[in-house]
Amino acid sequence: MTTRTAARATVYGYPRQGRNRELKKAIEGYWKGRVTADALRATAAGLRRANWRELADAGITEVPTGDFSYYDHVLDTTVMVGAIPERHRAAVDADALDGYFAMARGTQDVAPLEMTKWFDTNYHYLVPELGPDTVFTADSTKQVAELREALDLGPAARPVLVGPVTYLLLSKPAPGVAADFDPLTLLDRLLPVYAEVLADLRAAGAEWVQLDEPALVQDRTPAELNAAARAYRDLGAPADRPKLLVASYFGRLGDALPVLAKAPVDGLALDFTDAAAAHLDALAAVGGMPGKRLVAGVVNGRNIWVNDLEKSLATLGTLLGLADRVDVAASCSLLHVPLDAALERDIDPQILRWLAFARQKTSEIATLAKGLAHGTDTITAELAVNRAALSSRATSPLTRDPAVRARAAAVTDADARRSQPYAARSAAQRAHLGLPLLPTTTIGSFPQTAELRTARADLRAGRIDTAGYEERVRHEIRDVIAFQEKTGLDVLVHGEPERNDMVQYFAEQLTGYLATHHGWVQSYGTRYVRPPVLAGDISRPEPMTVRWTSYAQSLSDRPVKGMLTGPVTMLAWSFVRDDQPLGDTARQVALALRDEVNDLEANGTSVIQVDEPALRETLPLRAADHAAYLDWATEAFRLTTAGVRPDTQIHTHMCYAEFGDIVQAIDDLDADVISLEAARSHMQVARELAGHGYPREAGPGVYDIHSPRVPSADEAAALLRTGLKAIPAERLWVNPDCGLKTRGWPETRSSLENLVAAARTVRGELGSA
């Protein structure tokens, strides 16, 4: 093979937290007053430098800048364009760092920005609030400073920004603005600000700037596509601008690809994993990209399986004739995967070689770039190792269990249907449970105390035995039950003190799953999770939650909910196997959870909650793909829950997503009660349920648990009254937005006391004691 122009190896972003989550610890220390602002900034700068050096050492020849964030890159963009909500303006003017965190978390007096899922991932972003009076002003301080830091270290550096079209499409009308206001109408006002930022970056030494437009992989109207064309016509016009690389990811661009291919920009970055065939055909249809740079995302940036290097090289080889230059990248930012698989000491080495975290993916990218530029004979050893890893996984007995597959194949439609319709079940449940009007409950978890975390660490280190740890757990359960009874909650929970994470806890007890020790991934802000690895067929060897739920129930005459994580969320918040359809894997998980649900009921649990917060986030980005996904996703939930008696009440919970476009799917779950995030959106989901004619019970949240502020009883009561305009009192529940694991006891105690007081006030207004 002849030598070609050297292909660049690059990435769009890298995990922010540090090897030992140093960023999380520094930020939370700052919030508690134990770390100064200067110390926090120094920690952040050190992590950025370490990332750039690590990338350069791995063979990445162009590093990203601007992807690092204290909390969220969309919030960083809001600061960059000066779109500070008026209620936060004084705080930002007084102290930029404290004002930034106030927008993210709120204060006791000022509400934060709404938070929702970043496309179909488990990352959350802060939703910009815009209106017809919004004035944009450029502030490139962060972007310029981080570019200069990287350039001072030596490697080529490319700033990465959220593109203007995606920024506006992800925004919402500000409070007080008409609900039908379209933020995209502000595009002509926003583009000069982006042009100013681009000029600042060019002056600071940027040769290329990347503008991320993932919103264009969703279904877009002609007007939205015209807006994208206009945006890049204008941004591409100045002669003294940096070269522009427009990036999309998470799927196929569809009608947006010819728009961007024709735009006066210098390159496109496209997803060539799941969307490879679609993008190859689309590029060929538009005559390729002559004179332009194509960055091919052939390494999956969202999952952790090793890349098929030979398959990727074949894709890259096909692309060589379609663009002036082809470079190699991951399909999206590596923010969505853990840092380094080599840190995992307890995973079977046979399985470990199947895994590629961020560091391993950068090596794959560098290997592919080398092979593309200089021929496969220069990467012979790497290809041999890769073939062996792929073969090992494909032939391993760890991935297939004949009994599990036989049980899944035998499932019938009747297995996923309750024995009676909702109206009959509701009457049976009211008689059995005897709950008041506007019943109060929580979502499941309670604060994880320092004593509990210490006990867990002591158990891992061998300083206490299992009996000592379990006594600590029982103590926590007793305290949580006693508090709920004293406060007056109607349906109790055991608080989940034994659980490290709502997915990992179950994964550790199911066959087919692997747990990591260092596989941390950012969910939002300083909240990091360790998604387990779903490597093989799934079954439940023994009950997972029954003894703790039964113990809690023995402490109270009030009903105590059994708490499970649903099959879709078990997939969505795991690194799922990619060697079989997701629907097949979901059915296996559902059958394992069905066994747990039935055992809970058999042991006296009358209310069982199966959480599905990921149902919306896993929704495919294209409408044409929705029906197939929702068919298997809703079936998996019903398969989990349909085996119980009519008088057993099934709850589910969802949070921090846009629910309007899945209301029919929520209905199709056939849960008796659903609790949903609603506090930050001012009960929007209650109106959406009402508009659909949702016939079952619902608890739109009245307490935003992702903020440290304590809602007053009057505030919670006001939200309840808003909810009652959409949902009849006999079907309305009162609950927080989400679980309380991340909150402290003082704020939790006060907030729940206010929640119960609000329910009593509104019951009184309704004439019910």
3-state SS of 394-453 is HHCHHHCCHHHHHHHHCCCHHHHCCCCCHHHHHHHHHHHHCCCCCCECCCCECCCCHHHH
Residue 279's nearest CA partner among 294, 300, 299, 264 is 294
Torsion, CA 31, CA 33, CA 37, CA 40, rounded to 10: -70
Q: What are the distances in angstroms from CA 304 to CA 114, 456, 523? A: 30, 27, 17
Nearest to 480 by CA among 507, 454, 499, 506: 499
Instruction: Please report, as a single letter, which amino acid is at residue 272.
Output: F
Q: Token digits for 115?
A: 């938070």
> Which ranges constitute the DSSP H helices of 546-581?
546-554, 567-572
Cα separation, 503 vs 524, in Å, equals: 17
Cα(72)–Cα(407) distance, integer angstroms: 43
Given a contact cutoff of 8 angstroms between Cβ atoms, the answer to whether 711 and 732 are in contact is: no
Query: At 705, is the secondary structure helix, strand, or coil?
Result: coil
| Phi, psi values for residue 120, rounded to 5° | -105, 40
- CA-nearest of 441, 569, 455 to 506 is 569
Tell me the C-alpha distance between 335 and 215, whole Å: 18
Catalytic residue selected from 88, 124, 651, 706: 706
Q: What does the DSSP assignment read for 609-678? A: EEE-TTTTTTS-SSGGGHHHHHHHHHHHHHHHHTTS-TTSEEEEEE-SS--GGGHHHHHHT--SEEEE--
Buried b / exposed e across 330-355, counting CB within 10 Å, b at 16+?
Answer: bbbbbbbbbbebeebeebeeebebbb
CA 387 – CA 268 distance, rounded (Å): 30
Mark whether 124 is an active-site residue.
Answer: no
Catalytic residue set: 706
